[in-house]
Amino acid sequence: MTDQVDEQQPLRLLIVGAGALGNALLPRVLRWKWDGITIMDGDRVEEKNLVRQELFAPVDIGRPKSDVLAAWVRNMPVPVHMASRDEFLDANNAEALIAVHDVVADCTDDAHVKRLIDRTCAEYGVALVSGSVHGKESQVILLHAEGEDEAITRDELFHGRPGGEQDGCDMRNVPMETIEETGRRMAQLLRAVRQGEPVKNGRIDLFDGKRWTAIDPPDH
């Protein structure tokens, strides 16, 4: 499952969200040469998570998701420095945490948090790969990577204020194929950033349950 990457300068990766997308993404990027990985989530493992979040087991129910994933990594034969933060990202901690990382993987399901992550990454010049799922569909966006349209923001791609229906998604209604495809696409973009490959800031990759399409950002 893990994608291979050529040797590059180590980067510090922050994964925000240890739910279904975090579970799908982490094994795919684990063996790359990172200077460190931080996994952040304030949730606890629940029984309903076990079907969609495959790195958790019944023995983990009630434990912090971030701690469980960090322990899973430490039990793998992979020489990576792994840290966990048992807290939600918010306005009180976003700057201090994002500023000490080089790239952020946004695996959250809250539109307001996604906008906060985007604004903070833009301020500190931190590359951002953001994934979202809803039903059988998903979208993945790369923002603030070095190069053309580096300054483009989420608000320029999605106009208006997020509504209440955007504050979360019942993952029990999301097919595993959608979760896995989204994690795979996020990993592909992280690999491109990691290797310094040409990327398109602001391009929206859309998965409709069967195939991917892309929408380019508006001209600046």
Structure tokens at 121: 């990454």
Asked if residues 103 and 128 have their Cβ atoms less than 8 Å apart, the reply is yes
Q: Identify the pLDDT of residue 167.
A: 45
Q: Identify the pLDDT of residue 78.
A: 80
Angle between helix 20-29 and 176-195 (nearest 10): 40
Report the pLDDT averaged over residues 53-60. 96
Strands 11-16 and 103-106: parallel
pLDDT digits 0-9 by tens, 74-98: 988 888 899 999 999 999 999 999 9
Instruction: Please name which of 32, 26, 31, 56 lies closest in space to residue 44, comparing C-alpha atoms.
Output: 56
The mean predicted confidence, pLDDT, of the chain is 90
Asked if residues 106 and 117 have their Cβ atoms less than 8 Å apart, the reply is yes
Q: How confident is the model at residue 70 (pLDDT cuts 50, 70, 90)?
A: very high
Dump strand ranges (E) for 5-99. Answer: 11-16, 34-40, 82-85
| Domain boundaries 11-215, CATH class | alpha beta
Number of Cβ within 10 Å of residue 70's Cβ equals 21
Q: How confident is the model at residue 13 (pLDDT cuts 50, 70, 90)?
A: very high
pTM listed for this prediction: 0.91
